[in-house]
Amino acid sequence: MKYIYPEKLYKKIYSENFSIYGIYFKKIMETICEILENINDKSSILDFGCGEGYLKKIYYKKDHKHNIINYDIISEKSEVKDYKNLNYDLIVASHVFCLFSEKNLCDFLQNEINKNKDIKFIVAIGKQSLVSKIAQFITNKRSSNSYNQLSGAEELEIISRYKKLVYKKNILFMTDVCYFI
């Protein structure tokens, strides 16, 4: 099944207007920003699967010390054509790696580590829990996870094979924001 980017939903989520979705997704972005602010060294960050670029927009509203580069497979949403030739210290991926197969995620992680052995990752991993299923039902978004190839548990386990998990924060029982070094 071909992934269809939910542009209208994301615009609603990150608008200034109240949205039940916005509470959840903005909390994820705020948590990622908190982790970034606790990283002392100035870093170059690749927002992998940036979508509308909300992480950069939210992070740059405050004083910021890191440079964020937006990359998305949808070329109109990306600041760069190809991320592979760029240098960065950290990759942020929010609800992205679940769309990979196990092999593709392993290959991606290995390529990134081969490029920079000290690469760090901040990953928002959907738990696909009972709370998530109830929220999907209430908001009539029952097909939210239909494109996923990996469960949250599989995603966490695969990334943990390559990098050490040093911080994990749960967001509304539906997503874990994880920092790997």
Higher pLDDT, 151 or 12: 151
Q: How far apart are CA 76 and CA 52, in angstroms?
A: 9
Note the pLDDT of residue 63. Answer: 78
User: Given this model, what pLDDT does residue 144 score?
Assistant: 46
Q: For residue 90, give its domain range.
A: 7-180
In what helix (H) or strand (E) does residue 71 lie, and over which residues does it extend?
strand 67-71
Which pair of structure tokens corresponds to residue 133? 């299923």
Give the other-Cβ count within 10 Å of 46's Cβ: 24
User: In this structure, are residues 39 and 90 in contact, taking their beta carbons and an 8 Å threshold?
Assistant: yes
Quick check: is 136 in a domain? yes
The CATH number given to whatever domain includes residue 22 is 3.40.50.150
Q: Which residue has the higher pLDDT, 93 or 13?
A: 93
Q: Which of 1-15, 90-104, 110-124 has the lowest mean pLDDT?
A: 1-15
The model carries a pTM of 0.85
Q: Give the end-to-end CA distance of the chain in Å, rounded to a whole number.
A: 33
Confidence at residue 10, expressed as pLDDT on a 0 to 100 scale: 65
pLDDT of residue 62: 83
Least confident of 4-13, 42-51, 88-97: 4-13
Is 31 among the domain residues? yes
- Inside any domain, residue 91: yes
In a domain, 2, yes or no: no
pLDDT band at 136 (very low <50, low <70, confident <90, very high): very low
pLDDT at 8: 74
Residue 28 resides in a domain: yes
Asked whether residue 1 is domain-assigned, the answer is: no
Q: For a pLDDT cut of 70, what percent of the chain falls above it?
A: 81
Q: Is residue 114 in a domain?
A: yes
Query: Can you tell me which residue has the tokens 């943990």?
Result: 160
Return mean pLDDT, the chain. 87
According to DSSP, the β-strands at 175-180 and 120-126 are antiparallel
Report the alpha-carbon distance of residue 101 to residue 104 in Å, rounded: 5
Helix runs in 42-101, H state only: 54-59
Q: Which of 73-82, 125-134, 136-145, 157-166 has the lowest mean pLDDT?
A: 136-145
Q: 36 in helix, strand or coil?
A: helix
User: Is 143 inside any structural domain?
Assistant: yes
Domains held by the chain: number: 1
Q: What does the pLDDT look like over 54-78, one tens digit per residue?
A: 999 999 998 789 999 999 999 999 9
